[in-house]
Structure 1
C-alpha cells in the first residue's frame, strides 16, 4: 500500500482521509472550529482536544482524519492507519503536528499492538517535516482546557461594541496590562468576554479561575 500524495493536503478545507460515522461506543459529531468549519470527532476526548486547540491562538488550523498511512502489522500484513488530527501553527511559532488522541486506559493497554502504526506515523511525519504526538486526557484536560471551559459562558454573551471599546482603548497596542487594572476600570464580564473571544490574549498556561489579578493581557493581532 502506498500513500497517495493527493490525499495528504494540509489545507483545512481538504476532505478527510477517513470519514467518521455514527458509533455506539462513544460520542461523535462536528465541532464548529472558530465559527468557520465543522471538525469531526468520535469521542468526547477528541472534542475536548479540539476545544483546547481552538483556544490557543498560535494554532492556525486543524483537520480531522487528515491522512491514511500504511503500516506493516502482524505476520507482515499491511494495514491502513489514519491519525486523528493535523494541527497547523502560525508561521514561525511551531511546526505542523500530527496527533493521535487516545485515553490513557486505551493506549496503556494496547500500546504493544499499536506501536507499529505509531512508528509508521512518526516516520511519515518526519518525512513531511512534521511531528507525531499522542495525547491522552493528562495532556488535554490541562490548564489551557480549563481556561477555555471557564470562559465558555463569557464567550456566549452578547456585549455591545460601545461597552467593549473603552476596554480595548485601555490596552495600548503592543503592550501588556494587568487584568486587575482593567477590572478596576471596567465591568468584569466585558473584560472576560474579550478574553473569551480572543480579542485579548494572555498566558493560557496560567489559570483564570481563580483569577490572578496580576495576570497580564494584551491585544491580539487582527
Structure 2
C-alpha cells in the first residue's frame, strides 16, 4: 500500500471499552478486533491499494420489519490508478466478521449486508464480507513475517549480488541462493535479512500462499540485463 496524505476520516469513532482488542495500524487507522487487525495487515502489504478507510460510510435503510436503522461497514478499499491490474479494480466496501458472530446475528446482518450491497452498487463499488477463512491463511502468516523487513536499510552491494545471482539461476530457493553466494555462515545470516526484504518489496517473487521456508521457490522480478 502506498502512503496517502488524503486519508479519510471514519464516520464512526471506536468507543473506549467497546472491545478488549483495540489498536491502530500505521497509515490505515483503528481496529476493533484481532480479525480486523489481521485484515488491515493484508491491506497494508498490498501494493495495489491506494487508500483504506475504516468505518467509511453510514448506510440508512429499513430492515425486514420495516424499522429504519443504520449500518456502518468496517472498511473501504480503494485501488491505485497508476498500476495494472489495480486500475481495473472497483473499490471494495467490506465487512470483517467471525463466522460464529455471523451465525449468532445472521437475521440482522443479512439485512445490513443487502443494504450495503445495494449502496455499493450505486457508488460503482462492490461489497464483500471477509471471515477468518479468507483472512487467516498462509499468506497472512508470511506477510506478518515479511512486513517488518520492508523498512530495513540493506547494503546495495548485497542486494545487487543477490539479484544478479538469482537472475543467473532463474529459479532457486533461499538456502541454495545464499550458499552459492556466501561461504561464511555469519555473512549468510546477515544476507538472509536482505533477501527477506527483497521479497517483501516484491523485487523477488515467491508464492506467498504457501508456507515460506528456506526451500521455497524464488525468482527475480527484475531484469538487470
- The alignment's TM-score, normalised by the length of structure 2, stands at 0.77
Question: Mean Cα displacement is larger for which, 83-92 or 129-138?
Answer: 83-92
Q: Structure 2 stretches of 5 or more lacking a match? A: 183-190
Q: 2:181 corresponds to which residue?
A: 185
CA RMSD of aligned residues (A): 2.8
Q: Structure 1 stretches of 5 or more lacking a match? A: 1-10
Shift of 1:167: 2.9
- The equivalent position to 1:85 in structure 2, one of 66, 70, 75, is 75
- The equivalent position to 2:146 in structure 1, one of 148, 151, 154, is 151
With over 3 angstroms needed to count, the CA separation of the structure-2 counterparts of 1:60 and 1:211, relative to structure 1, is farther
- The equivalent position to 2:198 in structure 1, one of 194, 198, 215, is 194
Could you say what secondary structure the match of 1:151 adopts? Answer: helix
Is 1:14 matched up with 2:4?
Answer: no
Q: 1:133 corresponds to which residue?
A: 128
- Does the 8 A contact of 1:102 with 1:134 survive in 2? yes
Shift of 1:171: 6.0
Question: Mean Cα displacement is larger for which, 132-141 or 90-99?
Answer: 90-99
With over 3 angstroms needed to count, the CA separation of the structure-2 counterparts of 1:192 and 1:109, relative to structure 1, is same
Shift of 1:194: 1.8
Instruction: Write the mapping of 1:20-99 to structure 2, written as runs, cut at 5 A.
Output: 20-32=14-26, 37-73=27-63, 75-91=65-81, 92-93=84-85, 94-99=89-94
Could you say what secondary structure the match of 1:133 adopts? Answer: strand
- Does the 8 A contact of 1:98 with 1:131 survive in 2? yes
- Does the 8 A contact of 2:203 with 2:220 survive in 1? no
Aligned residues: 203
With over 3 angstroms needed to count, the CA separation of the structure-2 counterparts of 1:105 and 1:216, relative to structure 1, is same
With over 3 angstroms needed to count, the CA separation of the structure-2 counterparts of 1:12 and 1:204, relative to structure 1, is farther
Is 1:103 matched up with 2:67?
Answer: no
Q: How far apart, CA to CA, are the structure 2 residues paired with 1:97 and 1:38? A: 15
With over 3 angstroms needed to count, the CA separation of the structure-2 counterparts of 1:138 and 1:217, relative to structure 1, is farther
Shift of 1:192: 1.0
- The alignment's TM-score, normalised by the length of structure 1, stands at 0.78
Q: How far apart, CA to CA, are the structure 2 residues paired with 1:55 and 1:171? A: 24
Shift of 1:162: 3.7
Could you say what secondary structure the match of 1:138 adopts? Answer: helix
Q: How far apart, CA to CA, are the structure 1 residues paired with 2:28 and 2:46? A: 17
Question: Mean Cα displacement is larger for which, 125-134 or 155-164?
Answer: 155-164
Q: 2:137 corresponds to which residue?
A: 142
Could you say what secondary structure the match of 2:103 adopts? Answer: helix
Shift of 1:102: 0.8
Instruction: State the structure with more CA Rg.
Output: 2
With over 3 angstroms needed to count, the CA separation of the structure-2 counterparts of 1:98 and 1:217, relative to structure 1, is farther
With over 3 angstroms needed to count, the CA separation of the structure-2 counterparts of 1:69 and 1:24, relative to structure 1, is closer
Q: How far apart, CA to CA, are the structure 2 residues paired with 1:176 and 1:72? A: 61
